[in-house]
Amino acid sequence: MDTLVKKSFDSNSTIAETKDIPSNVHRSIKCVLIILNSLQVIQDWIRTPLKVSLQTTYRGDTATDPVSVTWNLLMIKLSCCGVDNGRDFEFSRFNRDFTLQIFNQTLSISNLQTPLACCNSASRRTAFEPGACAKYPIRKDHTHYFEGCLEKIWSYVTQYSDAFILAAVSIQPLLQALQVILTCVFMELLKREMEDRKRRKSRTYRKGSDFFFPSVSEESLM
């Protein structure tokens, strides 16, 4: 019985705490949740152009064009390979021949299955069959063939999603405070404008032959 009462009390407390949250905060949280639920849709939406760039524009490890340099940097820094995995390179037009300098020797590697950027840093320049990590990408300890870059990028997005929601909630009181400040400033400006109008109406004018001459009071000379 005590357990049921406790559960009921906890449930009522949760409802009470939820009711205490302002409606504008609820709207902010709702917007954030809608955005987060749309992340999968966005992820699927950008997957196709990423694969197109990888399979048609990417040229290989030694290329200097912006697309190739960006992909190489991304795969090396995030320890990933391709968009979803290394199979994205099966139909890629990248240069599958590579020249490697090891121990003052020039070695030529051909028929690469993936770029050397997909290999981990240790296996890229190993003395035992250089380039094997890209030519035979089967060992997980030598290659990132099985880890896609899109998933790695998205892990960073979802990693900070909680902080994003917290920021959306915590910024609401600041917006409310700013609203109060702006309202006070507006009221002060409105008050000054009304006082100026009263002052202008209180000025008396004496009619001359051709002009109206304002009477000068002692206060205006002080």
Query: For residue 166, is it within any domain?
Result: no
Overall number of domains in the chain: 1
* Domain of 71, in residue numbers: 46-159
Name the percent of the chain lying above pLDDT 90: 21
Query: For residue 40, is it within any domain?
Result: no
Tens-place pLDDT, residues 18-75: 445 556 555 556 565 565 555 667 777 888 899 999 999 999 988 999 999 999 999 9
Q: Are 28 and 168 in contact (CB under 8 A)?
A: yes
Query: For residue 119, is it within any domain?
Result: yes
Which parts of 63-131 fold into alpha helices (H)? 66-77, 121-124
Give DSSP secondary structure letters for 150-164: HHHHHHHHHHTHHHH
Query: For residue 34, is it within any domain?
Result: no
Query: For residue 151, is it within any domain?
Result: yes
Give DSSP secondary structure letters for 99-111: EEEETTEEEEE-S
| Between 208 and 114, the higher pLDDT residue | 114
| Between 170 and 160, the higher pLDDT residue | 160
Averaged pLDDT for residues 150-178: 67
* SS3 state of residue 204: coil
Query: For residue 165, is it within any domain?
Result: no
Query: For residue 30, is it within any domain?
Result: no
When pLDDT is cut at 50, 70 and 90, the band that residue 114 belongs to is very high
Query: For residue 38, is it within any domain?
Result: no
